[in-house]
Structure 1
Amino acid sequence: MKEKLINAWNKMTEKLESWLDAIIMHLPNILIAIFVFCIALFASKYISRLVVRLLDKSKLQKSMKNLIAKLISILVILIGLFLVLGILNLSKALNTILAGAGVAGLAVGLALQGALANTYSGIILSYIKNLKFGDWIETNDYEGEVVDIDLRVVTIKQVDNNLVYIPNKLVVENPIKNYSTTSQSRVILKCGVGYGSDLRFVKKLTIDTIVSNFEAVKEKDEVLFLWREFGDSAINYELRFWINSTSALEVAKAKSETIMLMKEAYDANDINIPFPIRTLDLPENLSVQVDK
């Protein structure tokens, strides 16, 4: 038993001595490899910043610029890693790593289909020109200003200042209404007046009120006034005009202002805006008994 322990100890010491000899023999290569890898890390950060500066002159979106800079930074680090493995004479290990990476990549790809779909969609959203930071959009039943586009979600800020994070895949696959693609937005308002009103005078008064209170409306022809229907208690119309804004919030403010202006103008000219009422038709022979 004692001899076996001694033999085992001798073999272990011989193995450690061989490892120590190998380290000493390859010490210059190890130092060079460490130096090369440090240079690769430093170069990746410097090149990433340089790429961002160069891309600032382009028309690409900020998220796309950051993505390209990160990919180039990772590429520089990978090149440095391959050089390190070559310096350490670990080419066989490199082949093994690449083979294993292929199998692992397939497994990871199957497990992360949703995440990869969002990543791919994020790249698409970062590249297209119809969606950019600051745009006011409506998609997936949410409306707000685009404040960020990354590889996972599109972040929009709603009117109430809440942030909504929508997965990129849903944004790509569903319709997007972008209010910021044009320089103007249309205000649409529906209302009604009493049956006893002078319809031509109501139309003229409404159009004149809009022209005199909104700077974007220069001529009367720019206001669209359409009588729509004979309603239950009113003759209903639809009013449309343009304002110089691409924000849905500004459209809502303009619509609110229009409602106040119309009410003031109609009250000043004795024009009635009917509201639903209920009329009770009681029989003539109905008697009401009051308990004393």
Structure 2
Amino acid sequence: MKTEIQTSFTDIYDKLIGWAISVIHNLPNLLVAIIVMVIAYYLAKVVNKWAVRLASRSIPQKAITNLIGRAAAIVVVLVGLFLALGALDLSKALNTLLAGAGISGLVIGLALQGTLSNMLSGIQLSFRKKIQIGHWIETTGYEGEVVDINLNSLVLQPMDNTRVIIPNKTIIENPLKNYSLTSNFKIEINCGVGYGSDLDKVEQLVKDTIKNLNQVDKNTDVEFYYRNFGDSAIDFSCRYWVNARDVRNRLEAKSIGIKAIKAAFNANDINIPFPIRTLQFDNELEFKNKEIGEVSQN
């Protein structure tokens, strides 16, 4: 019994001595690994600040710039960790860590597929110069000013001062119309004149009236087309280019054009007819008799 206990203590003692010798033998590698991790830690801080500063030049959203900075810092720390494990000659542990990271990344990616998709789409939107905060856009049936682009969604402010939150993935996958990429817009006004009007005179009058407006681009022509014979009028379309910055300027330019055309028509006795409904009574005698009967009863 004593011999077995002595043997056990001897084995433990030998293992401790072996570990101590191994630690002393690998002490330089351990110091190198510690130094590498310390350098990686402080370098990650510097890289984080540098990445945020660089990204903020083209991305105004702080949430996205901070994400980019953290991602760059994580990459630096991971590189330092791999170098430290390599210095300690822990190749098996390194391979296990890489395999575990791959499996974990796959599981997390499948679980957060929608969130990651919106996040990556948000980063992609932030780098697009054709979609920026302050632009007036129209997409997926909504129109408004872009007031925010974050990691998950794009926020629009329509003219009614509400907020429309659209997932970034939806913005990337659907067509988008940006009104802020140009300062010239074509305005279209639809109207009609009576059948007794002089059509050549109406066309020339409308063109001259629109050309004299301050908002109209003088380097472009005013387009005028008669469209069809309506129920009570001959319909026409007038199109012209204006200098406008947003949808409000476009609406204002169209309103001014409508008022100018109406004033010109009034000054030249040109009628803008409205629908007229004619009621026909086939049995006029019966109607009169019925009316007389109602009067006598009263």
SS at match of 1:254: helix
After TM superposition, list the pairs within 5 Å mapping 1:170-209 onto structure 2. 170-209=170-209
Aligned CA-pair RMSD: 3.6
- 1:147: which partner in 2? 147
For residues 170 and 227 of structure 2, the distance between their equivalents in structure 1, rounded to whole angstroms, comes to 37
Whichever of the two has the greater Rg, that structure is 2
Unaligned runs of 5+ in 2: 1-15
Deviations 1:91-150 (A, max 9, x none): 765544432222222122222222222233334333344333332211110112223333
Per mean C-alpha deviation after superposition, the further-off stretch among 136-145 and 162-171 is: 162-171
SS at match of 1:222: coil
1:169 matches 2:148: no
For residues 270 and 124 of structure 1, the distance between their equivalents in structure 2, rounded to whole angstroms, comes to 58
1:72 matches 2:64: no
For residues 99 and 196 of structure 2, the distance between their equivalents in structure 1, rounded to whole angstroms, comes to 86
After TM superposition, list the pairs within 5 Å mapping 1:247-266 onto structure 2. 247-266=246-265
After TM superposition, list the pairs within 5 Å mapping 1:86-165 onto structure 2. 94-165=94-165
Cα contact 1:133–1:146 (8 A) shared by 2: yes
Deviations 1:22-63 (A, max 9, x none): 9xx99xx99998997676555434333323444566xx4445
Cα contact 2:216–2:240 (8 A) shared by 1: no
TM-score (norm 2): 0.73
Per mean C-alpha deviation after superposition, the further-off stretch among 64-73 and 187-196 is: 64-73
Tell me by how many angstroms 1:174 deviates.
1.3
TM-score (norm 1): 0.75
Distance 1:157 1:36, change over 3 A: farther
Tell me by how many angstroms 1:201 deviates.
2.2
Structure 1 segments of 4+ aligned residues over 6 angstroms from their partners? 29-39, 83-91
Unaligned runs of 5+ in 1: 1-17
After TM superposition, list the pairs within 5 Å mapping 1:3-14 onto structure 2. none
Per mean C-alpha deviation after superposition, the further-off stretch among 186-195 and 147-156 is: 147-156
Aligned residue identity for 1:190: N
Aligned residue identity for 2:217: V
Give identity over the alignment, percent: 49
Cα contact 1:210–1:217 (8 A) shared by 2: no
SS at match of 1:218: coil
SS at match of 2:130: coil
Cα contact 1:138–1:177 (8 A) shared by 2: yes
- 1:242: which partner in 2? 241
SS at match of 1:195: coil
Cα contact 2:184–2:242 (8 A) shared by 1: yes
- 2:230: which partner in 1? 231
SS at match of 1:78: helix
Cα contact 2:180–2:246 (8 A) shared by 1: yes
Cα contact 2:215–2:253 (8 A) shared by 1: no
Cα contact 2:138–2:176 (8 A) shared by 1: yes
Distance 1:54 1:101, change over 3 A: closer
